[in-house]
Structure 1
Amino acid sequence: MTGAQHPVVDRDLEAQLLEAALLSGAHVLLEGPPGTGKSTLLRQVASGRHVPFVLVEGNAELTPARLVGHFDPALVLSKGYRPDIFVDGPLLEAMRSGGLLYVEELNRVPEETINVLLTVMSEAEITVPRLGRVPAAPGFGLVAAMNPYDAVGTARISSALYDRTCRIAMGYQSEAAERRILAMRTDCRDEPWRDRMVELVRSTRDHPDVRIGSSIRGGIDAVGLAGELARLRGVPLTDWTVGLQSAMAALTGRIRLQESCPRTPEDVVAELYEKAFGPRPDPENESGDAPPGEA
């Protein structure tokens, strides 16, 4: 289920810290694995403060020019370098409006672009060639997020950036919180079956062959897939094969195995699925309904 913004679950402390940091004029770095609510948390705080929210996806193509902005080339030819033909990038948009600039995947951003952010964090202003000095309006704040466990295509964050930010670590929520998230984010009303899907997702984080497990997003997708797959096949949601195939599609791409592990993600998910949902039922009871006492 997508669309409307969902509330943050079990993040009261992090929300208070983020709110206090921004109110004090500090910039913030949110660190944690994917699916732990970093973006949702910031959107909630920004909405509560009634300030603009400018999102930037961090990647190797986020150059200083794309972050700051540029002069419209066609108008430069006819009018020259005039301030009114400058096209603000997300950084200047947030600075001029006193909004929040949210940079996702900060450790994927090129070093020269991060240097621009360092200047703004230190001076609360930026000097753009041919445009001049642009001060940050009151309320401007930078919040960056990153997954410190992902080493592919990332760069090490400098101590200079850590020195200019308050760091808020965001780990996975509690099991009870993830059960609530799955209940809110899916149409599944079979609570025991849904809870076992949470158990499956959480078990991917503790398996010795898994380096990075799945977030609760994997459970949301698995439940959604299972519901639609069961409908297409005309079988109950609790059908064992439907659940397994949905878990395979939703989780095998999300987990990362240890480099020395000879197994496949499918092997690991199948093992964990059987632990959560029981072994494959005999063909005469293929629906795999919940064991007695769990229906």
Structure 2
Amino acid sequence: MTAVLAALAVVDRSRETELLEAALASGAHVVLEGPPGTGKTTLLRRVAAGRDRSFALVEGNAELTPARLVGHFDPALVLSRGYQPDVFVDGPLLTAMREGGLLYVEELNRVPEETLNTLLTVMSEREIVVPRLGLVRAAPGFAVVAAMNPYDAVGTARVSSAVYDRTCRIAMGYQSAEAEAQILAQRAPVPSADWRDRAVALVRSTREHPELRVGSSVRGTIDLAGINHQLARARGVAEDDWQVGLDAALVALSGRVRVDEASTRRPEDIIGELYATHFGPGPAGDDHTVEEPRPGEA
């Protein structure tokens, strides 16, 4: 168990870990709310491992129907044996209920309303009536933990007050610069501590830039370092090469950020500007601009 917990260690999340453990011990259901890349899933896996509880993960999207969440009768076996309990295939909800485990629902605000209503009943009563199967009661220890990004409005729906009334909320913002530097050092190769700190500062600055609605999470920093390492090897240059770092930053970050509608600039222009701010100007006074592709070019 110690090895498992070490592998699932969450950097700079001791307070959130304590809060989640206390909420689950009290029998509460929990919503972890915060932007992507803040360690919500890793935090829950660590807590589940520490309590020896099973862990069922469900991706919230428009295709998550009640049947996919709860389970279904095997059609082939129903034809030969009828609607018997032993031909029912448990979905993640029933699996977590029977085992007294955790049901983790990612992207809660993308779950269809009909499916959310199924969860509401279970969270309130800790039991569910499944047609032709009957009543299923949750074993002790069962809890629903959901995660959501409150800043993402694309393809999402407003979470109802009924959900919040049945859950406790733990807000998870971005970690400190020191914590993100520690995460980066654990997850990707870096040329030096100075380069690592500059990369972390670059990514963190995307979250505060006035022309960006959405900045990058620490995942962008990890990808930046990984691409930088591989690109330097491919080009046969030092890993702290300025141009290699710029190209890696453009690849790792330009798709993660979202430019404000009022801005006339492209993500590449802003990332290039921020890169020069944190890593200095190019060797020949490069103005860090990125040329527009010509018509017909890929």
Same fold by TM-score greater than 0.5:
yes
Superimposed CA distance per residue, residues 225-259 of structure 1 (whole angstroms, 9 cap, x where no aligned partner)? 00010011110011111101101111011111112
Instruction: Give the whole-Å Cα distance in 2 for the aligned partners of 1:245 and 1:187.
Output: 17
Query: Which residue pairs with 1:290 in the alignment?
Result: none
The question of 1:81 aligning with 2:83 is answered: yes
Structure 1 gaps of 5+ residues are: 284-295
Does the aligned pair in 1 maintain the 2:232–2:239 contact within 8 Å? yes
TM-superposed CA distance for 1:160, in Å, is: 0.3
Query: Which residue pairs with 1:188 in the alignment?
Result: 190
Identity of paired residues, percent?
Answer: 70
Q: Return 249-258 or 143-152, whichever deviates more.
A: 249-258
Instruction: Give the whole-Å Cα distance in 2 for the aligned partners of 1:190 and 1:21.
Output: 41
Query: Which residue pairs with 1:129 in the alignment?
Result: 131
Query: Which residue pairs with 1:246 in the alignment?
Result: 248
Runs of 4+ in 1 over 2 A off after TM superposition: none
Residues 56-205 of structure 1: pairs in structure 2 closer than 5 A:
56-205=58-207
Instruction: Give the whole-Å Cα distance in 2 for the aligned partners of 1:189 and 1:258.
Output: 33
Of 210, 213, 222 in structure 2, the residue corresponding to residue 211 of structure 1 is 213
Superimposed CA distance per residue, residues 155-183 of structure 1 (whole angstroms, 9 cap, x where no aligned partner)? 00000000000000000001111111111
Query: Which residue pairs with 1:255 in the alignment?
Result: 257
Query: Which amino acid in 2 is paired with 1:174?
Result: S
Of 10, 13, 17 in structure 1, the residue corresponding to residue 15 of structure 2 is 13
3-state SS of 1:236 partner: coil
Query: Which amino acid in 2 is paired with 1:207?
Result: H
Instruction: Give the whole-Å Cα distance in 2 for the aligned partners of 1:282 and 1:260.
Output: 32
Does the aligned pair in 1 maintain the 2:8–2:46 contact within 8 Å? no
Q: Aligned in 2, Cα 1:6/1:136: closer, same or farther, shift over 3 Å?
A: closer
Query: Which amino acid in 2 is paired with 1:151?
Result: A
Superimposed CA distance per residue, residues 97-150 of structure 1 (whole angstroms, 9 cap, x where no aligned partner)? 110000000000000000000000000000000000000001101100000000
Query: Which amino acid in 1 is paired with 2:27?
Result: G
Query: Which residue pairs with 2:43 in the alignment?
Result: 41
TM-superposed CA distance for 1:186, in Å, is: 1.3
TM-superposed CA distance for 1:187, in Å, is: 2.3
TM-superposed CA distance for 1:282, in Å, is: 1.9
Aligned residues: 280
Query: Which residue pairs with 1:267 in the alignment?
Result: 269
CA-based RMSD: 1.1
Instruction: Give the whole-Å Cα distance in 1 for the aligned partners of 2:269 and 2:129.
Output: 55
3-state SS of 2:20 partner: helix
Instruction: Give the whole-Å Cα distance in 1 for the aligned partners of 2:241 and 2:158.
Output: 45
Instruction: Give the whole-Å Cα distance in 1 for the aligned partners of 2:44 and 2:201.
Output: 27
Query: Which amino acid in 2 is paired with 1:222?
Result: L
3-state SS of 1:16 partner: helix
Does the aligned pair in 2 maintain the 1:183–1:189 contact within 8 Å? no
Instruction: Give the whole-Å Cα distance in 2 for the aligned partners of 1:6 and 1:16.
Output: 15
Query: Which residue pairs with 1:27 in the alignment?
Result: 29
> With structure 1 as the length reference, what TM-score do the two structures score?
0.93
Query: Which amino acid in 2 is paired with 1:216?
Result: V
TM-superposed CA distance for 1:7, in Å, is: 1.7
Query: Which residue pairs with 2:225 in the alignment?
Result: 223
3-state SS of 1:126 partner: strand
TM-superposed CA distance for 1:189, in Å, is: 4.9
Does the aligned pair in 1 maintain the 2:191–2:240 contact within 8 Å? no
Instruction: Give the whole-Å Cα distance in 2 for the aligned partners of 1:5 and 1:106.
Output: 26
Instruction: Give the whole-Å Cα distance in 2 for the aligned partners of 1:5 and 1:164.
Output: 32
> With structure 2 as the length reference, what TM-score do the two structures score?
0.92
TM-superposed CA distance for 1:188, in Å, is: 2.0
Instruction: Give the whole-Å Cα distance in 1 for the aligned partners of 2:238 and 2:104.
Output: 42
3-state SS of 1:231 partner: helix
Query: Which residue pairs with 1:293 in the alignment?
Result: none
Query: Which amino acid in 1 is paired with 2:19?
Result: L
Does the aligned pair in 1 maintain the 2:73–2:89 contact within 8 Å? yes
